[in-house]
């Protein structure tokens, strides 16, 4: 069976739709949105930004994709208090739904207007719940809906208008809502435009400013900026536009309202020229889309069938036609640039997401950079190297502390000798009166006196050696403190090595005893007898000769004792030094392999951190390139926008 021929009109529509689709696809491709989405997903996969950031990224991607698939055009309606904003919206809908009081701000909540088969409204509460009056069955509205069904069409409309006024203009009600949506069968909304009435730009209510800024930033593709003719572009309006509409200011249509208040027609062109110049200078846009009208005159004529008293019949007709022309211009301008506006909006959302990711990468780089620099600044020192460096310090300190040991030994040994000789001399002078007594003293009592002075010498020398070993133990403890205070070694327990301090008292006593015994005993009776036999001297001479002999032999003995104790000191100093050396070396034996593992682990960590950091830096550069690419694309789109019809004069 032959395929039925497509009617020419239908084919033409199909070709037009295909051209539009091709144009949209080309715009998307030139903006690089799909490629950027893929890049962001790869970036999010490779980097751990954290749960909250990942959720924001996914929400932003969803918003971009949703915007691509949504054919509607979202237009904010921006204006200051008493600028005629609500009146303009009522005129565009050809219905008096929004409150237009002169003495108070009339918009307290974000109010969306879109196409509906019949007038209806829905409210979105603070928790995100949406309830539509005609569609949803809710306990709160059930009594009203039963009553509502019994009303006539006009009365139903008045009933809905009262609800809408309360929800959008009463602060007590509006503060509990996130947004209100009005459904209306206006032809204006059939074109796919959704209008958003936001609280006044110069509102002093912080909540109004916050919700207005959020709606413009997160939802609106472009805006209708309402400028009353009697307040031609206030500085406060310019500040608001620069702060909240800078990204889309060139896509906005600037609507001058209340034109009927400019009584002299010849002043109107100059006024519009002034407004356009102020917008150009204040917002930095060259091609300002400016239209002028008198919505109140149109509204009264079209809906209420009344005329403003200050407007003549001829002027009434002019203003009515002028508003119809302005409205048609607005819709045609938006329709002609729909694809540009929608794709540009996606590009703006993409740029924000790229900027957010760039900040996330900056924060992520810090998480890599800071521990890397800490590892670089405070590396774990090889334990063997550390010990080799500090060990000589403790050994040298020990040798410094013991440098006075030998002089003290010398002092005490010869002081003991001198005391002994002084004692012997005193004994000889006071207690020995004949040769027999001299012989008895030399053979018996002298040895007892020597023993007493030997014990006294040992009592003087032993503390010196004990203190020397205590110093060695203290230095080992000092090393253990140094070891424990090293941050990288804190995980290790100190070995708490204790030096075995020898019994220096017994050692010194045995040493001095053996040294004394090894010396030739020049004070025995053999040499005394020979001295008496060979020398026939007087007793005093005998005693003097005996003292000289005792002095000589005792001095020789103490010289030997000093040499022995000096050698004994060298041995103990060497042994204590070796104990310090060996104890410190035990830390290398105990922990060196663990420290080497720690060093290897830190080196691996540093390498990993540096790799991650370089990856992040590379991704930052790529993000910066893509941000610049998006900005350049939007700049090029301004020049490529579809030519607009001649604006009103």
Phi, psi of 160 (to 5 degrees): -65, -40
What is the predicted pLDDT for the residue at 65? Answer: 92
The mean pLDDT of 210-221, rounded to a whole number, is 89
Instruction: Categorize the per-residue pLDDT at 150 as very low, low, confident or very high, splitting at 50, 70 and 90.
Output: low
Q: Which 3-state string (H, E, C) describes 526-591?
A: HHHHHHHHHCCCCHHHHHHHHHHHHHHHHHHHHHHHHHHHHHHHHHHHHHHHHHHHHHHHHHHHHH
Instruction: Categorize the per-residue pLDDT at 646 as very low, low, confident or very high, splitting at 50, 70 and 90.
Output: very low
Instruction: Categorize the per-residue pLDDT at 642 as very low, low, confident or very high, splitting at 50, 70 and 90.
Output: very low
What whole-number distance in Å separates Cα of residue 29 and Cα of residue 632? 14
192, 138 contact by CB (below 8 A): no
The mean pLDDT of 147-167, rounded to a whole number, is 74
Answer whether residue 187 shows pLDDT above 50: yes
Distance of CA 460 to the CA centre of its chain: 67
What is the predicted pLDDT for the residue at 63? Answer: 92
Beta bridge mates, 455: none
Maximum alpha-carbon separation in the chain: 173
What is the predicted pLDDT for the residue at 524? Answer: 47
Question: Going by DSSP bridges, is the β-strand pair 177-184/120-125 parallel, antiparallel, or unpaired?
Answer: antiparallel
R_g over Cα of the chain: 53
What whole-number distance in Å separates Cα of residue 59 and Cα of residue 75? 22
Beta bridge mates, 78: 225
What is the predicted pLDDT for the residue at 534? Answer: 38
What is the predicted pLDDT for the residue at 511? Answer: 85
383, 495 contact by CB (below 8 A): no
114, 181 contact by CB (below 8 A): yes
571: number of Cβ within 10 Å: 11
Distance of CA 60 to the CA centre of its chain: 22
What whole-number distance in Å separates Cα of residue 592 and Cα of residue 605? 20
Instruction: Categorize the per-residue pLDDT at 273 as very low, low, confident or very high, splitting at 50, 70 and 90.
Output: very high
Instruction: Categorize the per-residue pLDDT at 355 as very low, low, confident or very high, splitting at 50, 70 and 90.
Output: very high
Among the residue ranges 184-188, 286-290, 558-562, the one predicted with the least confidence is 184-188
Structural domain boundaries in the chain: 79-336, 378-623
CATH code assigned to 79-336: 3.40.50.300
What is the predicted pLDDT for the residue at 9? Answer: 59
457, 414 contact by CB (below 8 A): no
SS3 breakdown of the chain: % helix, strand, coil, rounded to 5? 70, 10, 25
What is the predicted pLDDT for the residue at 512? Answer: 84
The mean pLDDT of 419-431, rounded to a whole number, is 89
What is the predicted pLDDT for the residue at 146? Answer: 63
287, 250 contact by CB (below 8 A): yes
What is the predicted pLDDT for the residue at 36? Answer: 93
**Using the 8-state DSSP alphabet, how is residue 643 labeled?**
P
Distance of CA 185 to the CA centre of its chain: 52
Answer whether residue 535 shows pLDDT above 60: no
Whole-structure pTM value:
0.70
What whole-number distance in Å separates Cα of residue 148 and Cα of residue 155? 9
How many percent of the chain have pLDDT more than 90? 28
The mean pLDDT of 379-400, rounded to a whole number, is 88
pLDDT in tens, 27-53: 778 888 899 999 999 999 999 999 999
What is the predicted pLDDT for the residue at 75? Answer: 93
The mean pLDDT of 331-338, rounded to a whole number, is 87
For CA atoms 237, 195, 645, 25, the dihedral sign is positive
Answer whether residue 525 shows pLDDT above 70: no
How many percent of the chain have pLDDT more than 70? 88
Q: Kindly list the distances between the CA atom of residue 535 and the CA atoms of 441, 530, 541, 544, in Å, as whole numbers in the listed order.
A: 20, 8, 10, 13
What whole-number distance in Å separates Cα of residue 289 and Cα of residue 254? 6
Sheet with 193-197, edge to edge strand ranges: 130-132, 120-125, 177-184, 111-115, 193-197, 73-78, 222-228, 253-257, 289-292
Q: Kindly list the distances between the CA atom of residue 405 and the CA atoms of 412, 465, 468, 504, in Å, as whole numbers in the listed order.
A: 11, 8, 8, 14
Stretch (H or E) spanning 130 = strand 130-132
What is the predicted pLDDT for the residue at 52? Answer: 94
| Pick from 74, 73, 75, 84: nearest CA to 255 | 84
292: number of Cβ within 10 Å: 26
Q: What is the mean pLDDT of the chain?
A: 83
198, 211 contact by CB (below 8 A): yes
Residue/partner pairs of 263-267 with CB below 8 Å, 24 or more apart: 263/310
pLDDT in tens, 102-118: 445 567 788 899 998 88
The mean pLDDT of 272-286, rounded to a whole number, is 92
Answer whether residue 259 shows pLDDT above 50: yes
Question: Going by DSSP bridges, is the β-strand pair 222-228/73-78 parallel, antiparallel, or unpaired?
Answer: parallel
What is the predicted pLDDT for the residue at 40? Answer: 94
What is the predicted pLDDT for the residue at 56? Answer: 94
What whole-number distance in Å separates Cα of residue 306 and Cα of residue 500? 117
Answer whether residue 530 shows pLDDT above 90: no
What is the predicted pLDDT for the residue at 611? Answer: 92
């Amino acid at each position: 069976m032959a395929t039925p021929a497509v009617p020419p009109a239908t084919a033409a529509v199909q070709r037009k739709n295909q051209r539009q689709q091709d144009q949209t696809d080309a715009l998307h491709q030139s903006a690089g949105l799909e490629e950027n989405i893929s890049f962001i997903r790869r970036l999010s996969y490779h980097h751990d930004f954290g749960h909250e950031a990942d959720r924001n990224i996914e929400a932003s991607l969803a918003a971009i994709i949703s915007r691509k698939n949504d054919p509607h055009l979202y237009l904010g309606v921006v204006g200051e208090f008493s600028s005629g904003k609500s009146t303009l919206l009522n005129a565009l809908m050809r219905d008096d739904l929004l409150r237009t009081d002169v003495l108070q701000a009339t918009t307290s909540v974000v109010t969306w207007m879109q196409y509906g088969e019949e007038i209806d409204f829905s409210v979105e509460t603070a928790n995100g719940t949406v309830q539509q009056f005609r569609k949803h069955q809710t306990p709160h509205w059930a009594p009203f809906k039963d009553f509502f069904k019994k009303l006539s069409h006009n009365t139903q409309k008045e009933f809905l208008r009262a609800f809408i006024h309360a929800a959008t203009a009463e602060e007590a009600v509006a503060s509990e809502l996130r947004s209100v949506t009005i459904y209306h069968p206006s032809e204006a909304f059939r074109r796919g435009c959704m209008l958003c009435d936001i609280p006044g730009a110069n509102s002093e209510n912080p909540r109004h400013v916050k919700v207005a800024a959020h709606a413009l930033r997160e939802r609106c593709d472009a805006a209708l900026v309402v400028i009353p003719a009697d307040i031609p572009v206030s500085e406060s309006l310019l500040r608001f536009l620069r702060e909240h509409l800078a990204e889309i200011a060139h896509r906005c249509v600037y609507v001058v309202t209340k034109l009927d208040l400019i009584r002299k027609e010849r002043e109107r062109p100059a006024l519009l020229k002034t407004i356009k110049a102020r917008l150009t200078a204040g917002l930095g846009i060259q091609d300002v889309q400016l239209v002028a009208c008198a919505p109140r005159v149109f509204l009264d004529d079209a809906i209420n069938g009344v005329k403003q008293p200050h407007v003549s019949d001829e002027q009434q007709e002019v203003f009515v036609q002028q508003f119809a022309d302005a409205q048609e211009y607005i819709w045609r301008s938006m329709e002609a640039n729909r694809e540009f506006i929608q794709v540009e909006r996606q590009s703006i959302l993409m740029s924000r997401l790229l900027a957010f990711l760039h900040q996330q990468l900056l924060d992520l780089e810090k998480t890599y950079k800071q521990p890397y620099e800490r590892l670089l600044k405070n590396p774990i020192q090889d334990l063997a190297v550390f010990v080799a460096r500090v060990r000589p310090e403790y050994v040298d300190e020990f040798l410094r502390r013991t440098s006075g040991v030998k002089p003290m030994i010398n002092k005490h040994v010869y002081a003991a000798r001198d005391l002994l000789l002084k004692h012997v001399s005193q004994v000889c002078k006071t207690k020995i009166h004949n040769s027999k007594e001299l012989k008895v003293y030399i053979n018996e009592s002298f040895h007892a006196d020597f023993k007493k002075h030997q014990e006294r010498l040992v009592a003087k020398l032993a503390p010196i050696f004990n203190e020397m070993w205590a110093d060695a133990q203290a230095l080992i403890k000092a090393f253990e403190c140094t070891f424990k205070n090293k941050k990288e070694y804190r995980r290790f327990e100190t070995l708490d090595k204790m030096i075995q301090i020898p019994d220096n008292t017994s050692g010194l006593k045995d040493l001095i005893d053996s040294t004394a015994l090894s010396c030739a005993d020049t004070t025995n009776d053999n040499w005394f007898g020979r001295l008496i036999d060979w020398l026939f001297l007087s007793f005093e001479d005998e005693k003097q000769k005996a003292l000289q002999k005792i002095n000589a032999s005792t001095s020789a003995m103490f010289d030997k004792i000093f040499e022995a104790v000096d050698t004994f000191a060298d041995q103990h100093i060497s042994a204590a030094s070796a104990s310090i050396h060996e104890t410190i070396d035990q830390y290398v034996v105990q922990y060196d392999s663990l420290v080497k593992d720690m060093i290897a682990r830190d080196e691996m960590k540093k390498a990993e951190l540096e790799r991650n950091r370089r990856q992040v830096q590379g991704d930052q550069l790529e993000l910066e390139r893509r941000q610049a690419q998006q900005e350049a694309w939007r700049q090029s789109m301004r020049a490529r926008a579809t030519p607009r019809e001649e604006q009103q004069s």
